């Protein structure tokens, strides 16, 4: 879990911003959203394949 220490003269808002950026860096929220609902292995595979297809199409249109 991300941990941020607050200095004496540091405002709380700044410490919260640091904490949120630390969470983003460690991809904690991304993992949390991913685990929020159960996803069958077949659904996971389908999602990965669709993402790969989109990426390939973007690459091809970029090359042209």
6 close to 15: Cβ distance less than 8 angstroms:
yes
Separation CA 45–CA 38 (nearest Å): 14
Q: Running DSSP on this structure, what letter comes out for residue 36? A: S
Tens of pLDDT, residue by residue over 3-20, are 888 889 999 999 999 999
Structure tokens at 47: 């999602």
- Per-domain residue ranges of the chain: 39-64
For the cut 90, the answer to whether the pLDDT of residue 1 exceeds it is: no
Phi, psi of 7 (to 5 degrees): -80, 165
Q: In this predicted structure, what is the pLDDT of residue 64?
A: 74
Q: Say what the pTM is.
A: 0.55
Tens of pLDDT, residue by residue over 29-54, are 889 998 999 999 999 999 999 999 99
């Amino acid at each position: 879990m991300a941990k941020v220490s607050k200095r004496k003269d540091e405002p709380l808002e700044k410490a919260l911003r640091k904490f949120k950026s630390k969470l983003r860096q460690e991809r904690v929220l991304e993992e949390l959203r991913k685990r929020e609902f159960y996803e069958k292995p077949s659904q996971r595979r389908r999602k990965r394949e669709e993402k790969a297809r989109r990426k390939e199409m973007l690459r091809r249109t970029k090359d042209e």
